[in-house]
Amino acid sequence: MAKISVIGSGGWGIALTILLHKNGHELTVWSFDKKEAEELKITRENKAKLANILLPEDIVVTDVLKEAVTDKDILVLAVPSKAVRSVSKSLKNIVKDKQIIVNVAKGLEEDTLATMTDIIEEELKGKNPQVAVLSGPSHAEEVGKCIPTTCVVSAHNKELTLHLQNIFMNPAFRVYTSPDMFGVEIGGALKNVIALAAGIADGLNYGDNTKAALITRGIKEIATLGVAMGGEQSTFYGLTGLGDLIVTCASMHSRN
Catalytic residues: 191
The sign one gets for the Cα dihedral 90, 128, 126, 105 is negative
Cβ-based neighbours of 72, under 8 Å, separated by 6 or more: 3, 4, 5, 28, 99
Cα 102 versus chain centre, distance:
8
DSSP string, 226-245: HHHHT--HHHHTSIIIIIHH
CA separation for the pair 55, 72 (Å, rounded): 19
Closest CA to 22 of 131, 141, 143: 143
Helices (H) and strands (E) in the chain, counts: 11, 8
**DSSP-derived pairing of the beta strands 149-155 and 130-135:** antiparallel
